[in-house]
Amino acid sequence: MSKRHALGQHFLTSDLVAKSIVSLANIKKTDTVLEVGTGKGILVPYLCRKAKSVISVEKDSVLYDEAKSKFSYLKNLVLERGDAFEMDVDFDILVSNLPYSESRNAIEWLVQREFSHAIVMVQKEFAQKLLAKKGKGRRAISVLASYCFDMEQLLDVKKSNFQPMPQVDSVVIGIKCRKKIPKEVLLAVNKLFSFKRKTIRNIAKQFGLEIDSDKRLEDLSDGEIIGIAKKII
């Protein structure tokens, strides 16, 4: 358990919260749901009751084997072992209590894909970065998510609802896909923010571009930042 704790794996133990997450997902009988991180499987039976099919992906071999045995009776469940963010899987809805260490990877993976919507639970601090609209708190991940998604904070979840108990509370976020971007643009945005203390003029020089502006990244709209990223590539 200590190894999983170090990796940011905190297992949801509240059935009430699990039911709320699935309810917020608005799953229809025609939907294919992807769950990243099967964990102890608390969401699995509720997802399977609602969806046409559920694909649940788990990295940990022990947790995967436990889930295979525990949920063998669910005919619309496909369990996969591996890294979901390295898989090419078609789905309508993503529902996940993301391991804290995987939150950024999940968002970067999602901005490159087409899907209907997602319900994800993340660490409160990460949610604040993700939802930041302006100012110095804005990060590359904030811009990427805001450009590609409509997002809203749906539910606060106390840390006492997890085992082992994390140091911070969590937040359930609703995500609706508006557009996707290629990996090259994603990487370029991340590069831009490695120079976030510089002016746009000086950042542009790093990439052999000329942009006559004394503004900084925090002063630009999401679209303007994406536009500069596209010029880089």
Does pLDDT of 3 surpass 60? no
Same domain membership, residue 81 and residue 143: yes
32 and 50 share one domain = yes
pLDDT tops 60 at residue 2: no
- Strongest mean pLDDT among 6-10, 118-122, 130-134: 118-122
| pLDDT at position 91 | 98
What 41-46 contacts at long range (C-beta under 8 Å, 24+ apart), as own/partner pairs, is 41/66, 41/67, 41/70, 41/71, 42/11, 42/12, 42/13, 42/15, 42/18, 42/97, 43/12, 43/18, 43/95, 43/97, 44/71, 44/74, 44/77, 45/71, 45/74, 46/18, 46/19, 46/22
158 in Cβ contact with 169 (< 8 Å): yes
In this structure, are 160 and 97 located in the same domain?
Answer: yes
* Alpha carbons 201 and 213: distance in angstroms, whole number: 5
Q: pLDDT tens digits, residue range 43-63?
A: 999 999 999 999 999 999 999
Residue 4: pLDDT over 70: no
pLDDT of residue 8: 54
Residue 1: pLDDT band with limits 50, 70, 90:
very low
CATH number at residue 11: 3.40.50.150
Same domain assignment for residues 92 and 190 = no
Residues 27 and 97 in one domain: yes
32 and 108: one domain? yes
Domain count, the chain: 2
- Residue 130, domain extent: 2-180
Contact 225, 141 (CB under 8 A): no
Percent residues over pLDDT 90 in the chain: 88
If asked whether residues 154 and 225 sit together in one domain, one would say no
Q: What backbone torsions phi and psi does residue 121 show, to the nearest 5 degrees?
A: -105, 125
Report the residue count for the chain.
Answer: 233
